């Protein structure tokens, strides 16, 4: 159990960091604006419009919320991975599907239920954000879980 916790923490940190880095880069390329706005946007889920004021506390709240969400999706993945054989046989497809799942949960359930409301995204923005989640969340989770559970079951990777 201790080893699983360690793998989940490392994988959650990796996935969260990759996702946040990609979000910063994409936002900067798309807008030319300060990518720390991403953290303000995230913090506005609980703080509303007040979070859009540039204050370090708002950045910190966004940072913490981002990693809480990354860890929640990491824990969920590690819970379901050993129960779904399809995941174990199709790592790349699993990464793609889980990235799409994360996008759907966040953008169709979490964001509309938060104080952010709806984010008006373009079709190209939606596709880019899904690809980011597939690569930055789906791939690390898929490969990390495969490595962990194959070693746990005595198989070589």
50-100 tens-digit pLDDT: 887 778 889 999 999 999 999 999 999 999 999 999 899 999 999 999 999
pLDDT at 156: 47
pLDDT at 119: 63
Helix intervals (H) in 32-138? 37-47, 56-80, 85-89, 91-104, 111-113, 123-133
pLDDT digits (tens, 9 = 90+) for 1-52: 789 999 999 999 999 999 999 999 999 999 999 999 999 999 999 988 888 7
pLDDT at 80: 96
Q: Is it the case that residue 154 has pLDDT exceeding 80?
A: no
Taking the C-alpha atoms of residue 8 and residue 76, their distance in angstroms, rounded to an integer, is 10
pLDDT at 157: 43
pLDDT digits (tens, 9 = 90+) for 94-142: 999 999 999 999 998 998 888 887 666 788 889 999 999 999 999 999 9
49 half-sphere exposure, CB direction, 13 A CA radius: 0
**pTM as predicted:** 0.90
Which residue ranges make up each domain of the chain? Answer: 2-152
């Amino acid at each position: 159990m201790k080893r699983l916790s360690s793998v989940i923490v490392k994988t959650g940190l990796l996935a969260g960091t990759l996702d946040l880095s990609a979000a910063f880069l994409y936002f900067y390329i798309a807008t030319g604006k300060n990518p720390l706005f991403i953290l303000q946007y995230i913090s506005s889920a609980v703080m509303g419009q007040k979070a859009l004021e540039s204050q370090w506390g708002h950045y910190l709240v966004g940072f913490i919320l981002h990693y809480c969400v990354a860890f929640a999706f990491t824990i969920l993945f590690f819970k379901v991975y050993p129960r779904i054989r399809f995941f174990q046989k199709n790592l790349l497809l699993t990464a793609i599907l889980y990235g799409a799942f994360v996008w759907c949960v966040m953008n169709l359930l979490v964001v509309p239920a938060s104080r952010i409301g709806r984010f008006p995204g373009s079709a190209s923005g939606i596709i880019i954000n899904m690809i980011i989640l597939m690569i930055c969340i789906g791939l690390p989770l898929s490969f990390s879980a495969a490595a962990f559970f194959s070693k746990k079951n005595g198989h070589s990777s």
